[in-house]
């Protein structure tokens, strides 16, 4: 009787151990694997966010020039602004220009986050899943390469502004 009880309890312990192991593996796989569709949606999101960033960079360039600063100097002042000797290393006039640029860019930069979130949602990918893929891609070179390839394919498939203008010119040509 004791022997049967020990066998049954041993069997139950083994079964419990296997159950815990199986559940752990499901969670590990769930966090590490993604469907091709999810990777495709992630790549679309990355592409759209890259386009948003390009637009903001173009806007920043215009603002820098409107405030009378050269882009190269803006970058130097920006780096200096993160150091303790900013006030002594950068002349007051440039610090004021820099601050005006930063003030003008605050709302634009804030809108990037909102627009990026909307771009992700527009693909149909959940934000949590987007973040999971982003984290995994940092650790997995193969996944990162797959995403980069898909983003490049999207970039090649999307006409540039010049190409769109040329297409409009052709469409407007009388026949």
Q: In this structure, is residue 130 part of a structural domain?
A: yes
Q: In this structure, is residue 91 part of a structural domain?
A: yes
Full domain range(s) for residue 65: 36-156
Mean pLDDT of 80-85: 94
Number of compact structural domains in the chain: 1
Q: In this structure, is residue 22 part of a structural domain?
A: no
CB 45 within 8 A of CB 123: yes
Q: Which runs of consecutive H residues, i.e. helices, occur in 90-126?
A: 92-123
CB 109 within 8 A of CB 56: yes
Q: 65-80: per-residue pLDDT in tens?
A: 999 999 999 999 999 9
Q: What is the band of 163 on the pLDDT scale with cuts at 50, 70, 90?
A: low
Question: Quick one: which of 158, 149, 173, 161 has its CA closest to 43?
Answer: 149
Q: In this structure, is residue 96 part of a structural domain?
A: yes
Q: In this structure, is residue 169 part of a structural domain?
A: no
pLDDT at 11: 42
Q: 103-157: per-residue pLDDT in tens?
A: 999 988 888 889 999 999 999 999 999 999 999 999 999 999 999 999 999 999 9
Q: In this structure, is residue 116 part of a structural domain?
A: yes
Q: What is the band of 168 on the pLDDT scale with cuts at 50, 70, 90?
A: low
CB 94 within 8 A of CB 77: yes
CB 133 within 8 A of CB 38: yes
Place of tokens 């151990």: 17
pLDDT at 107: 84
pLDDT at 167: 46
pTM for the full model? 0.63
Q: What is the band of 3 on the pLDDT scale with cuts at 50, 70, 90?
A: very low
Q: In this structure, is residue 72 part of a structural domain?
A: yes
Q: 4-41: per-residue pLDDT in tens?
A: 434 444 443 443 343 333 332 222 234 568 999 999 99
């Amino acid at each position: 009787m004791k022997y049967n009880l020990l066998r049954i309890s041993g069997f139950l312990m083994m079964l419990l151990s296997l159950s815990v192991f199986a559940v752990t593996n499901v969670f590990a796989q769930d966090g590490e694997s993604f469907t091709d569709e999810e990777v495709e949606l992630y790549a679309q999101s990355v592409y759209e966010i890259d386009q948003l960033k390009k637009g903001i960079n173009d806007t920043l360039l215009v603002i820098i020039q409107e405030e009378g600063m050269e882009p190269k100097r803006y970058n130097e002042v920006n780096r200096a602004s993160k150091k303790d000797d900013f006030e002594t290393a950068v002349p007051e006039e440039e610090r004021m220009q820099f601050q005006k640029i930063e003030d003008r860019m605050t709302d634009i930069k804030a809108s990037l986050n909102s627009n990026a979130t909307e771009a992700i949602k527009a693909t149909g990918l959940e934000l949590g899943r987007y973040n999971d893929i982003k984290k995994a891609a940092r650790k997995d070179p193969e996944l990162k390469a797959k995403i980069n390839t898909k983003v490049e394919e999207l970039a090649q498939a999307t006409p540039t502004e010049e190409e769109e203008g040329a297409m409009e010119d052709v469409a407007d040509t009388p026949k």
